[in-house]
């Protein structure tokens, strides 16, 4: 009994340590073919930035108009599709320290040699609206629809998966990341690899039947 108790205590300690160590934010972006010369663009935030406390911004800046992420090689031939692209139904980034908020309203693709960037804009096409923040403020993202069909052909992108990590930094130190903790950006260009609910259910049922037969 003592052995089991020790095992449970060790497991709880490891879980607590993992929860402390995994303080970070992840933004998963996806682009898929919508047909008719269009692309479906969507994102999903996880981690600190969607938690009630938010994620602390790392540097002292007057405002945030966009959060950029670079993915070398994912843009094929963007052509004339470099302009600001309005978004509708995307979520809101809030400065929980000062009770201010701004909705994401735009998107822009910037190919630059080996570095292809996705820029996410707060505010409208004039970029006249910003979310004023300073170093140490905590930002929280509140999700909405977070998916839109944009007038950019899917052929402008190279299918595959891409990742970039912006390291976190303390308020006084240098660093390329926007937050004090690490920020991971993932992008998937192509069909989603997540199984449909019906397929997942059949797989689970098949596994249960196989387990029962072996037993």
Which tokens sit at 173?
């130190």
Query: Residue 17 falls within a domain, yes or no?
Result: no
Looking at mean pLDDT, say which of 63-72, 164-173, 189-198 comes out highest.
63-72
Query: Residue 90 falls within a domain, yes or no?
Result: yes
DSSP code of residue 190: S
Lowest mean pLDDT among 147-156, 172-181, 182-191: 172-181
What does the alpha-carbon distance between residue 181 and residue 56 come to, in Å, rounded to a whole number?
8
Query: Residue 14 falls within a domain, yes or no?
Result: no
SS3 198: helix
Looking at mean pLDDT, say which of 85-89, 125-129, 132-136, 169-173 comes out highest.
85-89
In which residue are the tokens 């340590």 written?
A: 17
SS3 64: strand
Q: State the pTM of this model.
A: 0.76
Query: Residue 7 falls within a domain, yes or no?
Result: no
| Domain interval for residue 152 | 23-202
Query: Residue 207 falls within a domain, yes or no?
Result: no
Cβ neighbours for 69, distance < 8 A, ≥ 6 positions apart? 27, 29, 117, 118, 120, 164, 166, 185, 187
DSSP code of residue 178: S
Which tokens sit at 194?
């997540």
Give me the pLDDT at residue 16, please: 38
Q: Taking residues 85-112, what's their average pLDDT?
A: 93
pLDDT tens, 43-61? 999 999 999 999 999 887 7
Query: Residue 109 falls within a domain, yes or no?
Result: yes
Examine the pLDDT at 186 and tell me if it is beyond 50: yes
What values do phi and psi take at 116, rounded to 5?
-105, 125
Beta strands (DSSP E) in the chain are 25-35, 38-47, 55-56, 66-70, 85-86, 92-95, 100-112, 115-122, 138-142, 147-150, 160-166, 183-189
Domain count, the chain: 1
Examine the pLDDT at 195 and tell me if it is beyond 70: no
Examine the pLDDT at 196 and tell me if it is beyond 50: no
Query: Residue 129 falls within a domain, yes or no?
Result: yes
């Amino acid at each position: 009994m003592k052995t089991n108790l020790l095992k449970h205590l060790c497991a709880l300690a490891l879980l607590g340590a993992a929860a402390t160590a995994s303080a970070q934010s992840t933004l998963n972006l996806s682009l898929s073919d919508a047909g008719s010369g269009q692309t479906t663009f969507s994102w999903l935030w996880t981690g600190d930035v969607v938690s009630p406390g938010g994620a602390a911004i790392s540097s002292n800046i007057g405002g945030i108009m966009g959060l950029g992420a670079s993915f070398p090689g994912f843009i094929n031939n963007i052509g004339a599709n470099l302009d600001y692209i309005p978004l509708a139904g995307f979520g809101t980034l809030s400065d929980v320290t000062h009770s201010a908020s701004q909705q994401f309203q735009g998107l822009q693709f910037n190919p630059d040699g080996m570095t292809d960037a996705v820029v996410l804009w707060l505010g409208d096409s004039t970029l006249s609206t910003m979310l004023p923040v300073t170093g140490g403020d905590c930002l929280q993202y509140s999700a909405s629809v977070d998916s839109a069909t944009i007038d950019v052909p899917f052929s402008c992108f190279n299918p595959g998966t891409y990742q970039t990590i912006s390291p976190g930094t303390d308020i006084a130190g240098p660093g390329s990341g926007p937050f004090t903790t690490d920020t991971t950006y993932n992008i998937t260009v192509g069909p989603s690899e997540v199984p449909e609910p019906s397929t997942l259910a059949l797989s689970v049922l098949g596994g249960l039947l196989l387990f029962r037969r072996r037993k």
